[in-house]
């Protein structure tokens, strides 16, 4: 059966934190493909958020060399607000019969109660929760969608356990996985661009050039 990873985010911009997570998840779990889904433009303009077209193009540049990676325009092309539940259903139509895994960093999974139709979301796909610097698996203890022993979460945090598979309350599978910590954040990158600092080594060269050429994240003067 084809196994697909769905990796949603603002990708503002995409960086080596995202890319390392995708590479390691795919290799460790033997997924056939990872589909990056950059979000569209929000109804209310957010000055920090680059235009959806730019964010989509940057992801495209970042993944073009990896034959196991793809980018979806589902969310970016949509005029109105996109929700993860709709994205998953659309991908299910495009890939009938595939097993869909929604990939989320610890922080993103903790935030799910604030998303659109969260209960439905956690019953629509299986989940992969990846580690991220500054966030602890122990923080998942209060998730309403997960019933898990805190000692297991602590073992993941202390690296006594590299991976743990269990069921969400919805009955869907969830895999928690430690990945190589990459101390890069999109917020940090945007700040560095604003201050005129180099962002080399934080993201692929093609993405860096794109940011420079299109003057993204620069304060407009
Ligand atoms: P920002 O700094 O703008 O908040 P972000 O990287 O947190 O950016 P997204 O682009 O929406 O925001 O993140 C997409 C997904 O990638 C989320 O699930 C997030 O948890 C995960 N992620 C982001 N950075 C890392 C990282 N360094 N390591 C692991 N996962 C990450």
| Distance (Å, whole) CA 197 – CA 199 | 6
Q: How far is the CA of 12 from the centre of ligand 1 (A)?
A: 9
CATH class of 3-181: alpha beta
The H helix count followed by the E strand count for the chain is: 8, 7
The reply to whether ligand 1 has any atom less than 6 angstroms from the CB of 107 is: yes
| Distance (Å, whole) CA 18 – CA 20 | 6
Give the pLDDT confidence of 37-51 residue by residue, as tens digits: 999 999 888 889 999
Q: What is the pLDDT of residue 221?
A: 54
Q: What number does the ligand 1 atom closest to the CA of 103 have?
A: 18
Domain boundaries, the chain: 3-181
Give the pLDDT confidence of 167-183 residue by residue, as tens digits: 999 999 999 999 999 99
Q: How far is the CA of 107 from the centre of ligand 1 (A)?
A: 8
Q: How far is the CA of 3 from the centre of ligand 1 (A)?
A: 22
Place of tokens 């890939």: 95
């Amino acid at each position: 059966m084809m196994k697909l990873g769905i990796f949603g985010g603002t990708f503002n911009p995409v960086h080596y934190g995202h890319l390392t997570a995708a590479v390691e998840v795919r290799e460790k779990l033997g997924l056939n493909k990872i589909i990056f889904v950059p979000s569209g433009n929000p109804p209310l303009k957010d000055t920090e958020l680059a235009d959806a077209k730019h964010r989509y193009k940057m992801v495209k540049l970042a993944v073009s060399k990896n034959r196991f990676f793809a980018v979806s325009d589902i969310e970016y092309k949509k005029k109105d607000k996109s929700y993860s539940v709709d994205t998953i259903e659309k991908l299910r139509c495009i890939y009938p019969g595939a097993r869909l895994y929604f990939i989320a960093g610890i922080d993103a999974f903790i935030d799910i109660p604030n998303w659109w139709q969260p209960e439905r979301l956690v019953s629509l796909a299986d989940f992969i929760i990846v580690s991220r610097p500054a966030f602890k698996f122990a923080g998942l203890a209060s998730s309403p969608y997960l019933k898990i022993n805190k000692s297991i979460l602590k073992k993941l945090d202390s690296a006594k356990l590299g991976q743990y598979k269990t069921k969400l309350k919805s009955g869907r599978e969830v895999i928690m996985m430690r990945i190589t910590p990459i101390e890069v954040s999109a917020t940090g990158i945007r700040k560095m661009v604003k201050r005129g600092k180099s962002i080399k080594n934080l993201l692929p060269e093609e993405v860096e050039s794109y940011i420079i050429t299109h003057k993204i994240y620069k304060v407009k003067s």
